């Protein structure tokens, strides 16, 4: 691995140097290490030490490339090492100053017309040499990157993305560079936040390059995506309820039909610019077997009326989008399987525990992005406990306190606090994080520590040991 990396550095080709350095950064992941600290340890003990040992301009070039591609911790380590070399009069070669300074070219989007996924490809150039970055994004939930590729032959990659002759459900369009950034940046950030997003080794290797390329794309100053508001979604539900396709479902149970229509229509609120009627076959399965069973506590009537209400809404959605027969059949083909699995998935103790995180938040017309954000925040405050054969009601403050006591009961309290005082403070911190008030100081302080790489347990421990006025004080107050 090192010989290939040094050959790339010696060649003086910025893209080749980036590719080989990125591949080196992926070695811990390939070896099964998912903790960012393991990657930083590897970089420090292997790459940085080797660069210092060489005492050559190529070593300085490698450190400069690490500073371009690495995480904040890696950049800091490489910067210190580069300072040692330059202090000894050893400087990187001139070509290194061009690392990462690419010129964006053009962008294309290949997308599933039913809305389940999309692929975005963007070309970049170092002078006359053009390359391309391609990213696949799963849209069934909150958009997240599932695959990344980098090609030194930009034309061939773009041609592959544009070739849809053999696919009845894919379309291609050229898009503005600002829109390309919007479609790539947040999905990639979510992917990097996941502890184990299940990425291939190639994708992990290309991820640092994709990160640097997205930063070179223009921001959204001149791009305004179409906006669909809560009022638009409510109007779509009303249109559905009045439609002939909904007549039988409404006659059987109007209240439950409206509930399912609001859930399905409201799911579009997780993505800015997605129409209320947008849904694909994989997305439907995800809504029923992921979104609903994790967030919504259903009444017996809502459970009984699930199949007719959902089927009617899906057929109405297909009609609103003018889908042809083949597209409509493709859209509904997974519904029977999802219906057959629903009851078992809903009744699973883990699903019941998950619903406790959203019990007081999940109205049928709730903004899904807001709901996901706050449930994620609560999952940070109190990680999902093992069900141990039954439901754990995390919605009950007494249960939350018992879980906090089990986690922090053996911790040594900070100086000046008794164990009881420390436990009360730790429970208070968790309750502050559990709330949906983004302005409380506890949440803001925890967010800052998390960005600095402090673990969740240590964040709560530190905040619990702070003076009482700091914890639970609103910024508004």
In a domain, 425, yes or no: yes
Q: How would you write the pLDDT of the chain (477 residues) with one tens digit per residue?
A: 788 989 999 999 999 999 999 998 888 877 777 677 777 888 888 889 888 998 999 999 999 999 999 888 888 999 999 999 999 999 999 999 999 999 999 999 999 999 999 999 999 999 999 999 999 999 999 899 999 999 999 999 888 888 876 667 889 999 999 999 999 999 998 888 776 667 888 898 899 999 999 999 998 765 566 778 999 999 999 999 999 999 999 999 999 999 999 999 999 999 888 899 999 999 999 999 999 999 999 999 999 999 999 999 999 999 999 999 999 999 999 999 999 999 999 999 999 999 999 999 999 999 998 999 899 899 999 998 887 767 889 999 999 999 999 999 999 998 889 999 999 999 999 999 999 887 788 988 998 888 777 889 999 999 998 764 444 443 333
Backbone CA torsion sign across 358, 361, 365, 369? negative
Picking from 222, 241, 268, the residue at the C-terminal end of a domain is: 222
Q: Are residues 244 and 181 in the same domain?
A: no
The pLDDT value given to residue 26: 85
Q: Are residues 235 and 364 in the same domain?
A: yes
Q: What is the DSSP letter of 299?
A: -
Q: Are residues 245 and 355 in the same domain?
A: yes
- The structure tokens listed for 133 are 């970055």
How far apart CA 27 and CA 9 sit, in angstroms, is: 18
In a domain, 387, yes or no: no
Q: Are residues 70 and 117 in the same domain?
A: no
Instruction: Find, among 84, 7, 74, the residue nearest to 47 by Cα.
Output: 74
In a domain, 386, yes or no: no
- Which letter, b or e, does each residue of 267-305 get, where b requires 16 or more Cβ atoms within 10 Å of its Cβ? bbbbbeebbbbbbbbbbbbbbbbbbbbbbbebeeebeeb
The pLDDT value given to residue 142: 87
| Residue reference for tokens 């702070």 | 466
Residues 6+ positions from 418 with CB-CB distance below 8 Å: none
Q: Are residues 82 and 116 in the same domain?
A: no
* pTM for this entry: 0.83
In a domain, 465, yes or no: yes
How far apart CA 64 and CA 84 sit, in angstroms, is: 13
Query: How many other C-beta atoms are found inside a 10 Å radius of the C-beta of residue 1?
Result: 11
**Distance from chain centroid for Cα 43:** 25
Domain count within the chain: 4
Q: Are residues 192 and 314 in the same domain?
A: no
In a domain, 379, yes or no: no
What range defines the domain where residue 453 resides? Answer: 396-470
Q: Are residues 209 and 339 in the same domain?
A: no
Q: What CA–CA distances, in Å, run from 403 to 28, 246, 382, 466?
A: 33, 45, 8, 21
In a domain, 477, yes or no: no
Q: Are residues 168 and 215 in the same domain?
A: yes
- The structure tokens listed for 7 are 């050959």
In a domain, 13, yes or no: yes
How far apart CA 91 and CA 73 sit, in angstroms, is: 22
Q: Are residues 44 and 173 in the same domain?
A: no
Q: What is the DSSP letter of 79?
A: H
In a domain, 154, yes or no: yes
Q: Are residues 196 and 241 in the same domain?
A: no
Q: Are residues 216 and 270 in the same domain?
A: no
Q: Are residues 11 and 48 in the same domain?
A: yes
Residues 6+ positions from 192 with CB-CB distance below 8 Å: 207, 211
If you write DSSP's letter for every residue of 24-75 in order, what string do you get? Answer: HHTHHHHTT---HHHHHHHIIIIIIHHHHHHTSHHHHHHHHHHHHHS-HHHH
Picking from 222, 257, 276, the residue at the C-terminal end of a domain is: 222
Picking from 98, 118, 144, the residue at the C-terminal end of a domain is: 98
Contact 147, 203 (CB under 8 A): yes
- Residue 202 DSSP SS3: helix
């Amino acid at each position: 691995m090192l010989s290939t990396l040094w050959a790339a550095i010696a060649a003086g080709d910025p893209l080749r140097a980036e590719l080989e350095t990125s591949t080196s950064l992926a070695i811990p992941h390939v070896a099964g290490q998912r903790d960012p600290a393991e990657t930083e340890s590897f970089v420090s003990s292997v790459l940085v030490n080797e660069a210092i040992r060489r005492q050559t301009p190529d070593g300085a070039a490698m450190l400069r490339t690490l500073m371009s591609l690495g995480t904040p911790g890696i950049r800091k380590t490489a910067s210190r090492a580069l300072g040692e070399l330059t202090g000894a009069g050893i400087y990187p070669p001139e070509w290194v100053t061009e690392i990462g300074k690419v010129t964006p070219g053009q962008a294309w989007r290949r997308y599933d017309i039913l809305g389940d996924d999309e692929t975005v490809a963007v070309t970049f150039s170092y002078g006359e040499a053009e390359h391309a970055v391609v990213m696949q994004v799963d849209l069934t939930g909150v958009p997240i990157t599932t695959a990344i590729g980098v090609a030194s032959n930009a034309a061939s990659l773009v041609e592959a993305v544009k070739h849809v002759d053999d696919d009845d459900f894919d379309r291609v369009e050229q898009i503005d560079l600002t829109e390309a950034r919007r479609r790539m940046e947040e999905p990639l950030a979510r992917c990097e936040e996941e502890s184990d997003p299940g990425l291939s080794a190639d994708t992990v290797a290309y991820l640092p390059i994709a990160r640097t390329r997205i930063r070179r794309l223009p921001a959204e100053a001149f791009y305004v995506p179409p906006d669909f508001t809560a009022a638009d979604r409510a109007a779509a539900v009303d249109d559905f309820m009045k439609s002939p396709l909904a007549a039988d479902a409404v006659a059987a149970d109007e209240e439950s039909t409206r509930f399912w229509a609001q859930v399905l229509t409201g799911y579009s609120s997780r993505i800015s610019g997605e129409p209320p009627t947008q849904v694909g076959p994989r997305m439907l399965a995800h809504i029923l077997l992921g979104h609903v069973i994790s967030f919504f506590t259903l009444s017996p009537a809502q459970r009984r009326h699930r199949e007719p209400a959902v089927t009617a809404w899906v057929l109405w959605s297909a009609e609103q989008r003018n889908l042809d027969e083949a597209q409509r059949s493709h859209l509904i083909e997974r519904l029977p399987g999802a219906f057959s699995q629903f009851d078992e998935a809903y009744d699973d103790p883990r699903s019941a525990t998950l619903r406790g995180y959203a019990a007081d938040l999940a109205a049928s017309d709730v903004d899904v992005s807001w709901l996901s954000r706050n449930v994620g925040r609560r999952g940070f405050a109190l990680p999902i406990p093992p069900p141990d054969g039954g439901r754990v009601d995390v919605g009950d403050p007494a249960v939350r306190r018992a879980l906090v006591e089990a986690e922090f009961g053996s911790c040594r309290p900070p100086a000046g606090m008794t164990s009881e005082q420390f436990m009360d403070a730790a429970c208070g911190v968790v309750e502050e994080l559990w709330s949906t008030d983004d302005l409380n100081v506890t949440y803001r302080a925890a967010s800052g520590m998390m960005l600095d790489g402090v673990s969740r347990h240590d964040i709560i421990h530190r905040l619990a040991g702070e003076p009482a006025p700091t914890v639970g004080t609103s910024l508004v107050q």
